[in-house]
Amino acid sequence: MNKERRKRKTSRIVIFVILIVLAALFISPILIVLINSFKGKFFISETPFELPNAETFVEFENYTGGIGKTGFLHAAGWSFFITVCSVAVIIIFTSMTAWFITRVKNRFNNMLYYLFAFSMIVPFQMVMFTMTKVANMLHLDNPVGIIFIYLGFGAGLSVFMFSGFVKSIPMELEEAAMIDGCNTLTTFFRVVMPVLKPIAVTVGILNTMWIWNDYLLPYLLIGSEYRTIPIAIQYLKGGYGSIDMGAMMAMLVLAIIPIVVFYLACQKYIIEGVVAGAIKG
């Protein structure tokens, strides 16, 4: 028995060491970018794995230069504005829609449900060109109009997930509220919405991750006038393939910081949300 236990203990230590090494490997790409963001732009491509020294260290030059070149602060503002507004709009409207089409059963609502579900498997390229044209015609090609487009595009997954959740909650609660004199709207916001909270968190996180990182849709729709963070970074590449590596490193670091902060702040919800989203989606 003693031997057995010792054996198990050594195997645990081995696993622990393997995990430490792997974790270091996983983090290192980000650390390498961080290190290089403090080096002069000509010292990056060739020796990315060396720490900055007296010759190569440039303090925050890459940051100030990069921010100026890309308009990063504006881009961060637009990214933030578009993500927060779109996610809020998506949560409110798709939860209402999902509840309605699940509770009021008729052929039309049933068809809507399947249409929303169907839209999830359609790749963006299928509607990329036509959607951009339609949005241009309707003058939705601005930071407010794009929120509406995100509502339409995010509707598939979000309605699908809310519907799945609504099906699992009993109707008695809502019926009691209505008998007590609530109308449909107050019933929804006072009684149903609080019950939907866990799934709303999941839907919110999935949409936040998508919209914050989305490149192509905002690029095609508003990219000529407004940049979001991914657009600002891609913009550094320019037309001729030569990249200011210093500015690039600094902007990558600035792009990663908000994500890491968001992640560490609501890590539990994010991992749970993503797992729940994957299982239900």
Partner 1 sequence: MKRHTKRYFPIFVLPTLVAFTIAFIIPFVLGIVLSFTEFTTVIDAKWVGIKNYRAAFGNKEFLNALWFTVRFSIVSVATINVFAFLLALLLTKKIKGTNLFRTVFFMPNLIGGIVLGYIWQLIINGVLYHYEVTLTFSPTYGFWGLVILMNWQMIGYMMVIYIAGIQNIPKDVMEAAMIDGARPLQILKSVTIPLVMPSFTICLFLTMSNSFKLFDQNLALTAGAPSKKTTMMALDIYNTFYGSVGSEGIGQAKAVLFFIIVALVAFIQLRITRDKEVEN
Which residue, 221, 207, 208, 200, is CA-closest to 132?
Answer: 221
Q: 57 by DSSP, 3-state: which?
A: strand
Of 247-276, which residues contact partner 1 (CB under 8 A)?
248-249, 252, 255-256, 259-260, 262-263, 267, 270-271, 274-275
Given 73, 88, 126, 144, the residue binding partner 1 (CB under 8 A): 126
Of 154-193, which residues contact partner 1 (CB under 8 A)?
155-156, 159, 174-175, 178, 183-185, 188
Nearer to partner 1, 200 or 245 (CB): 245
CA 80 to chain centre: 11
Backbone angles phi, psi at 57, to 5 degrees: -70, 130
3-state per-residue secondary structure call for 2-52? HHHHHHHHHHHHHHHHHHHHHHHHHHHHHHHHHHHCCECHHHCCCCCCCCC
Given 85, 169, 195, 216, the residue binding partner 1 (CB under 8 A): 216
- C-beta of 100: minimal distance to partner 1 in Å? 4
The DSSP code sequence of 105-155 is --HHHHHHHHHHHHHTTS-HHHHHHHHHHHHHHTT--STTHHHHHHHHHHH
Nearer to partner 1, 73 or 104 (CB): 104
Given 87, 140, 157, 222, the residue binding partner 1 (CB under 8 A): 140
d(CA 246, CA 42): 8
How big is the site for partner 1, counted in residues (CB under 8 A)? 93
Q: Of the ranges 58-66, 67-75, 193-201, 207-215, which one interacts with partner 1 (CB under 8 A)?
A: 207-215
Q: Of the ranges 53-61, 62-70, 100-108, 195-203, which one interacts with partner 1 (CB under 8 A)?
A: 100-108
Binding of partner 1 at residue 100 (CB under 8 A)? yes
Given 10, 121, 239, 242, the residue binding partner 1 (CB under 8 A): 121
Burial class of 101 by CB neighbour count within 10 A (0 to 12, 13 to 18, 19+): buried
Q: Of the ranges 24-32, 52-60, 67-75, 194-202, which one interacts with partner 1 (CB under 8 A)?
A: 24-32
d(CA 31, CA 33): 5
Residue corresponding to tokens 């994010």: 270
Given 67, 76, 91, 131, the residue binding partner 1 (CB under 8 A): 131
Nearer to partner 1, 12 or 60 (CB): 12
